[in-house]
Amino acid sequence: MDQEKLEKGVKIAKNISIAVIFLVPLSYFCWFYLKNQQPISLNSADWGAFGSFFGGILSPVIALFAFYWLTQSILIQKKELSETQSVLKATEAVQKEQAITQEKKRFEDTFHSLLGQFNIVFESLNETTIFKGIPQPSKIKSLYTKIIKNGAGFDAQISDEEQIKKQVTMMRKESIDCSHYFRILYHLLKFILLNHSFKSTPLNFKDAIKCEVTATEKFYSNIVRSFLNKEITQLLAINCIAFDDSDDYYNFRLLVERYELLEHISFNPEWLRKIINSYNPSAFGKNPEIVLSR
């Protein structure tokens, strides 16, 4: 019931009540005084009877209207409450959406800032210097030569696992100049893991790493992976080998496996195939060579 109909209904009920108040005594007066020539009584008992008669007719009418508008007011209040709740729910939904939009913008701003820093560091490490007119290999190239190209000279007297551990130790020792590059990569991946739900409160690492990878995570981690060239991917594969959770690089390894960062790794030189068993197959994604190697 809209406001106009409500006011019209109340006005009609009010007019009917007023009409009843005037018509009852008027009809009483016409019947007894005019029709039957009965004089106006001076006896209080007669007026008491008249009052009872008048009240007996008027009270049910007034009570009926009062009951009707009481029920109508309850229905109107219920409808208004329902509409108010609907508006509040819609407002809450809009506020949540706005909050998510703001968190997403904050996430993307931070993500692109980290990604920009990540690329700046890579460019600085990939710069070629000139010494006495002779071009010198960049820090990335030097590390790649020591760890990957020269890594084929394994000792045949020790197991593959021991050889891998030896190579990992060398990688972490020789990568002092490049370690901050891998740290930024780790924090970039960790940021995606903990903040991809666009909530103001980041997720817990141990809980988040157990959840299924979302489309949002996949989207942003693929962007990061696209910036990893052949050399970096191979160095990353050595750098993140960790055999148990006591290793400082264990969480980094979990992120590599979660986001399939080694999917496009090249097993050239051939000795790199020895690292396959050091990772969960998920680290290599859909790399067809992994299936053949296993």
Neighbours of 193 (CB within 10 A): 23
d(CA 134, CA 131): 5
d(CA 215, CA 213): 7
**Do 77 and 214 reside in the same domain of the chain?**
no
Q: Which of 79, 98, 117 is the last residue of a domain?
A: 98
**Do 135 and 94 reside in the same domain of the chain?**
no
**Do 45 and 151 reside in the same domain of the chain?**
no
**Do 130 and 176 reside in the same domain of the chain?**
yes
**Do 67 and 133 reside in the same domain of the chain?**
no
Q: Which of 80, 98, 116 is the last residue of a domain?
A: 98
134 is a domain residue: yes
**Do 83 and 139 reside in the same domain of the chain?**
no
168 is a domain residue: yes
**Do 136 and 272 reside in the same domain of the chain?**
yes
d(CA 233, CA 264): 8
**Do 278 and 139 reside in the same domain of the chain?**
yes
**Do 168 and 263 reside in the same domain of the chain?**
yes
Dihedral, 29, 34, 39, 43 alpha carbons, nearest 10: -20
Residue 231 in 3-state DSSP? helix
How many structural domains compose the chain?
Answer: 2
**Do 82 and 132 reside in the same domain of the chain?**
no
In tens digits, the chain (294 residues) has pLDDT values of 565 676 676 677 667 767 776 776 677 667 666 666 666 666 667 667 766 766 676 777 677 767 666 776 776 777 778 778 888 888 888 878 787 888 889 999 999 999 999 999 999 998 887 777 787 889 999 999 989 888 755 566 677 788 888 889 889 888 888 999 999 999 999 999 999 888 777 878 999 999 999 999 999 999 999 999 999 999 999 999 998 889 999 999 999 999 999 999 998 888 888 899 899 999 999 888 775 554
192 is a domain residue: yes
Range of the domain at 78: 3-98
**Do 167 and 265 reside in the same domain of the chain?**
yes
d(CA 274, CA 159): 10
254 is a domain residue: yes
The pLDDT value recorded for residue 40 is: 65
11 is a domain residue: yes
106 is a domain residue: no
The pLDDT value recorded for residue 154 is: 55
The pLDDT value recorded for residue 82 is: 79
Whether the model clears a pTM of 0.85, i.e. scores above it, the answer is no
- What does the DSSP assignment read for 109-157? HHHHHHHHHHHHHHHHHTPPEEETTEEE--HHHHHHHHHTGGGG---TT
Q: How many CA atoms lie within 13 Å of 176's alpha carbon, on the beta-carbon side?
A: 2
Residue 249 in 3-state DSSP? coil
Dihedral sign computed on CA atoms, order 256, 261, 264, 270? negative
105 is a domain residue: no
The pLDDT value recorded for residue 185 is: 96
**Do 263 and 156 reside in the same domain of the chain?**
yes
112 is a domain residue: no
